[in-house]
Amino acid sequence: MTAIETRPLGGKNPLPVTNFGLGTAPLANLYKPVSEADAIATVQAAYNSGIHLFDTAPLYGRGLSETRVGRALAGYPRESYVISTKVGRVLSDDQSSLHFDYTRDGVLRSLEGSLKRLGMDYVDILHIHDPDNHQHEALETAFPTLAELRSQGVIKAIGAGMNQWQTLEHFARHADFDLFLLAGRYTLLEQTSLDFLQLCQQKGIGIFLGGVYNSGILATGPQPGAKYNYADAPDPILHKAAAIQAVCNRHHTPLHVAALQFARAHPAVTALVVGAITPAEVQANLDALSALIPAALWAQLRAQGLIEADAPTPS
């Protein structure tokens, strides 16, 4: 498999997207300070490497991510890349605070603010962002507003982005979504969402996978302080990650390389969305996607019960 390919968003939406995207939350100082110059260089390195899918949100740095993405891409043809941003949290005019708002007015104000920060006339994809405790409002007010925007050609696709799949499964059964952004629930460490992914595949709903390192442990390995679900990894997770890493070591494959390639192997997955804060990290991700992994590694993980028996693995 080549590192970057272009494919339709999903079975029912032909919007072309690259199968690897840049997640831009880290560029807004999510984990550590990132300079403006480094942020712009990272976005441009991704674009110049063939990554033409960029995911952002008002939440990320209270608009800083969107602002930096817009500045970085200002010199490139707008039709040559896909922008994915989010609604559901509205940023105040002075950008000092955010509040949940899934109303029609909230969705429209959120989009208006995103366009201003991005310096763009349109975005391609709008996700309903983290509606865990707002499922009714998301379906009854936010989604119809987005459907209207889609029918008018203002946006090209409607998604929802969450860290759990159960609500997304409900959305898949009750509204006409084009895609979902699922973070952390289909990874080399856990495959709890297999039935959900199969449902999306049947319905032609695209899947973007975020959080493929489970907040860090699949990138750093099970070292002290390794993160899982945005917190210190508990002992059972550390032990499982150590067992997976031992198999990877046996086959001379870095853990993060196996994690990236495993996540992208499911046929329901349209694209991975992975963060980076330097051009070198962008290149490291591309190198990981292109690395050769022996089939025996996947067979051994399956034989030891470290991945689900029916989880697809790279060919």
CA distance 226 to 261: 21
* DSSP code, position 277: S
Strand partners, 82: 53
Of these residues, 86, 101, 186, 240, which one is catalytic?
A: 86
* 186 is annotated as an active-site residue: no
Q: Token pair 């063939």 is at which residue?
A: 50
Task: Compute φ and ψ for 156, nearest 5 degrees.
Answer: -105, -15
* 228 is annotated as an active-site residue: no
Reported as half-sphere exposure (CB side, CA atoms, 13 A), residue 228 has a value of 21
CA distance 59 to 247: 38
Of these residues, 47, 55, 156, 213, which one is catalytic?
A: 55
* 60 is annotated as an active-site residue: yes
Strand 206-210 and strand 227-228: the pairing is: unpaired
Look at the alpha carbons of 215, 191, 12, 88 in this order and tell me if their dihedral is positive or negative.
negative
If we measure between CA atoms, which residue out of 63, 41, 64, 50 comes closest to residue 21? 50
Of these residues, 47, 60, 186, 228, which one is catalytic?
A: 60
* DSSP code, position 149: H
Q: At what angle do helices 295-303 and 235-250 cross, to 10 degrees?
A: 140
182 exposure class (CB count in 10 Å sphere: 0-12, 13-18, 19+): buried
3-state secondary structure of 68: helix
Q: Which are the catalytic amino acids?
A: 55, 60, 86
